[in-house]
Amino acid sequence: EAEMFEKFAQSLSKEAELRAGEITDQVNTLYIGGGTPSVLPLSVLGDMVKALSEVGVSGPFSEFTVEVNPEDIVEKGPEYVEGLLRLGVNRVSMGVQSFDDGILKWMNRRHNAANAVKAYNILEDAGVENISIDLIFGLPQISPALWDETLERALSVSSRGVPPKHISSYQLSVEPGSALASLVEKGVWSEAPEELCAAQYARLCEVLRTAGYNHYEISNFALPGFEAVHNSAYWRHVPYIGLGPGAHSC
C-alpha cells in the first residue's frame, strides 16, 4: 500500500511537471479532493505539495482545502491533523453525510455517528478553524423528524459550541451502473419522490438561514466570510488546473 501511495505521488508530480506551462502565478487556492485524500500518509501529501511548489504553485494559499473522511481522522488522530496544518492546510472538508447510524450503514460508510462527532472535535482541537461538513438528503428513509435531528446535530457537532463554518448538502443521485441503480432496477429500493426531496431541501435552507448561514450556492451554506473561495471560482468561470486521476482543467 505504501508503494502504491508513493507511485501515485510520483505520477502526480510528473503530471504537474508536464503541465507546468498551463500554470500561472495567479493560483491562490489549492484543493486536494476526490473524497479520500485522508487515506494518504503525510509524507505522500508532503511530496505532492513539494512537487507543486517546484512548478510554481507554492503557498501560502488564501485557501488550502483537504477533503477527509471521519474514519481516517479517528484512526490517525491529532498528529495527522497537525501535520496537515504544517503543510499549509487551512480548511478541511469532511464527508459526514449523516448522523444516523442506520443511514450510514446503508451507505456502506465505515464511520458511525459517534466517530463523525469525534473526528470533528479532533480537527477542532488540533487547530483547524475552518471546517466544512457534507450532508446528504433525498433519501426516502429520512423522515421530517430525522432530518430536523440531523440538522440540529450538524449545528451542534462542536464540543466548543461553535457551529461549523461551512455546510454542504447534496441530494442523493442514482448514477447509471452503480450498485444503487441495480437495486432500483430490481425493485429492492425506490428513489425518494421529488416532493419529498423538495421538502427536505426547503427545510435545510430554512434551518441554516435561521442559524445565520449565507446560502451562497445551490448546495453550499457558509457563515459570513467563510464561503469557499476555491469552489466559488468555478461558478465565476475562473480558470483552474486539475491534476490527478479523472481530473480536468478549463
Tens-digit pLDDT profile for residues 48-93: 999 999 988 887 899 999 999 999 999 999 999 999 999 999 999 9
Q: Bigger pLDDT: 227 or 245? A: 227
Place of cell 494518504: 40
Q: How confident is the model at residue 45 (pLDDT cuts 50, 70, 90)?
A: very high
Runs of H (alpha helix) within 19-157: 42-54, 70-86, 101-106, 113-126, 144-155
Q: How confident is the model at residue 246 (pLDDT cuts 50, 70, 90)?
A: low
What pLDDT does 91 receive? 98
Q: Which three cell numbers stand for residue 146?
A: 430525522
- CA geometry: angle at 105 spanning 80 and 189, to 5°? 140
Whole-angstrom CA distances from 82 to 44, 164, 220 are 15, 19, 26
> Of 134, 137, 32, whose CA–CA distance to 90 is shortest?
32
Q: Is the pLDDT score of 182 beyond 90? A: no
What pLDDT does 250 receive? 44
Q: Is the pLDDT score of 35 beyond 70? A: no
Average pLDDT over the chain reads 91
H helix and E strand count, the chain: 9, 7
Q: Bigger pLDDT: 2 or 144? A: 144
Q: How confident is the model at residue 181 (pLDDT cuts 50, 70, 90)?
A: low
